[in-house]
């Protein structure tokens, strides 16, 4: 059975890889994983321990393709910023634990209740998760050690920093990127996925819609010292016009309008997302 699951996952990986553009493949070439690492990642995504509701969203989030593009390897020290309910934790924590790597969950105030529950429910799988604060606004808060991470990942969070989430609406994007820069090793990778606001849109919408411009993300990252290393369209959704009445939360999975035009928004799917890779210079 395990061989069947792994075989199916590897077949899916092969199809997804073939769908990538030549530019994406060239951009990722320098950090391409070994066949063994690719197999381990595919197996982690296909693992029966994942929550079925999370697996159902793979078609929107493309975890194998996304993590492959970011060059995440099983022996890496990986920091996930604001892991939320643990969607990526279910993949990353076992993948890294089995490969000798380390998984950090970095959250506001160093608190990650959903991950605490995961560790309590399955300590053999999630017991090695390390928790830190991000951004750390208090000197006493536990931080990811400077220069310790091979990869830092954040999924749909930059817009929150720009909006000043939990900070009275005060933009702390620059501080967030500065802290990310410090935690990475020289040559380390920052991988970002976020809801994409068209460049032609009013920038004020970044404060209310949940969408953010690629140019804003690049400005923040490059301002902190990062070098832009490439982009992928693996998480793009051309059906998302990014102009919905309740912002990005109009679309699934939130569906803030509830039954109003529900089928329309389900048909559109989850948001159009940028997938950007940055590197801390050596």
Q: Within its chain, how far is the Cα of 112 from the centroid?
A: 16
- Start-to-end Cα distance in the chain: 44
Q: What is the mean pLDDT of the chain?
A: 91
Q: How does residue 25 score in pLDDT terms, banded at 50, 70 and 90?
A: very low
- Which domains, and CATH codes, for the chain? 2-279 (3.40.50.150)
Which tens digits make up the pLDDT trace of 196-228? 999 999 999 999 999 999 999 999 999 999 999
pTM, two decimals, is: 0.88
Which CA distances in Å does 158 have to 4, 37, 186, 253, 257? Answer: 38, 28, 22, 18, 24
Arithmetic mean of pLDDT, 169-194: 98
d(CA 115, CA 133): 14
C-beta neighbour count of 165 within 10 angstroms: 15
Provide the pLDDT for residue 34.
85
């Amino acid at each position: 059975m395990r061989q069947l699951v792994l075989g199916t996952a590897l077949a899916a990986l092969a199809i997804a890889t073939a769908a990538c553009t030549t530019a994406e493949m060239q951009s990722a070439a320098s950090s391409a994983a070994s066949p063994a690492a690719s197999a381990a990642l595919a197996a982690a995504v296909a693992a029966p321990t994942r929550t079925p509701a999370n697996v159902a969203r793979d078609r929107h989030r493309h975890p194998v393709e996304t993590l492959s593009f970011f060059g995440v390897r099983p022996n890496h020290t990986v920091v996930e910023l604001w892991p939320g309910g643990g969607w990526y934790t279910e993949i990353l924590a076992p993948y890294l634990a089995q490969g000798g790597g380390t998984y950090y969950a970095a959250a506001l105030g160093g608190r990650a209740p959903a991950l605490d529950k995961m560790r309590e429910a399955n300590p053999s799988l999630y017991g090695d998760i390390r928790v830190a604060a991000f951004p750390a606004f208090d000197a006493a808060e536990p931080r990811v050690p400077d220069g310790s991470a091979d990869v830092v990942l954040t999924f749909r969070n930059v817009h929150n920093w720009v909006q000043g989430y939990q900070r009275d609406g005060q933009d702390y994007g620059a501080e967030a990127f500065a802290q990310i820069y410090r935690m990475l090793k020289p040559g380390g990778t920052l991988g970002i996925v976020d809801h994409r606001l068209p460049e032609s849109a009013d920038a004020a919408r970044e404060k209310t819609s949940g969408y953010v411009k690629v140019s804003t993300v690049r400005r923040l990252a490059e301002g902190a010292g990062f070098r832009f290393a490439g982009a992928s369209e693996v998480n793009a959704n051309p059906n998302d016009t990014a102009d919905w009445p309740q912002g990005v939360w109009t679309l699934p999975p939130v569906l803030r309008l509830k039954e109003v035009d529900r089928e329309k928004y389900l048909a559109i799917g989850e948001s159009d997302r940028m997938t950007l890779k940055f590197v801390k210079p050596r």
